[in-house]
Homo-oligomer: A and B are copies of this chain.
Amino acid sequence: MTLPTRRERVRAATVDEIKTTARRLLVEQGPAAISLRAIARQMGMTAPALYRYFPSHEALLEGLCGDLGDELVGELVRARDALPAEQAAARLVATCQAFRGWATGHPAEFTLMFASARQGGCADAGLADRMGQRDREAARRFGPVFFDIIVEHWRRSPFPVPEPDSLSPELRGQLERFTGVLHLPVPVGLAYVFVSGWVRLYGMVALEVFGHLDFALTDVEPLFQAEMAALAAQLGLPLHQPTD
């Protein structure tokens, strides 16, 4: 654990400025505007200089996505810790609202992080690299945040979850492996509640940000509140949502 040298410090600062500039271009002019030349121009540099900091344009975007992920996780944690640990259900709802708030407040960033095709599963395994697979661990980092809160709530005040027998063997096996990896002594039904809820949360937020709900709704807020109320009820805590 040695101190960073002076060079390392200015280098880190430059890396940070590059990503900040890239993000400003993303927000102000869209993803297509994140070009090495534009970034360099904004910084008073020339494009090839950026290759001293990132090996490629794609690597720069990955770095940006990493920062965005850190920021989003920070928002979620902040929302969680704003409420006392005893009110775990309220914490979960607040964290969900923070997730939606960040996504709708930063649609360009959300799209960059979440709207890329999967890694495997295609007929051609290498296809994902050619498609915009930015942050392979985007959801890998946010899902667990919610799961942790759910587990914490369930420990404090257990609520009914599906019985193991009510799940198909294949699904139960996968969910058991998931909870097993995390070394958490919780019922599989809780994992199912989590995954099912994560699907609902992501679906609603993504549909809203991508504008795929405005064929029916002009404002997603009421629907979101209703779903949050349903979620709270499912967690055994009928929550009267604050009309913020």
Footprint of B on A, CB under 8 Å? 28-33, 104, 107-108, 111, 114-122, 124, 127-128, 130-133, 136-140, 143-144, 167-168, 170-171, 174-175, 178, 191-192, 195-196, 198-204, 206-219, 221-223, 225-227
Contacts and interface: CB of A to CB of B under 8 A. Distances in A.
A216 B143 contact: yes
B30 A127 contact: yes
Nearest to A104: B121
A132 B112 CA distance: 11
Contacts of A137: 215
Contacts of A138: 212
Contact of A214 (B104, B118, B206): B118
A111 to B, nearest CB: 5
23 contacts: A29-B130, A32-B131, A107-B122, A108-B127, A108-B131, A111-B115, A115-B116, A116-B210, A117-B209, A118-B210, A119-B211, A138-B212, A139-B213, A140-B215, A170-B219, A170-B222, A174-B218, A175-B216, A178-B216, A192-B226, A195-B216, A195-B223, A203-B203
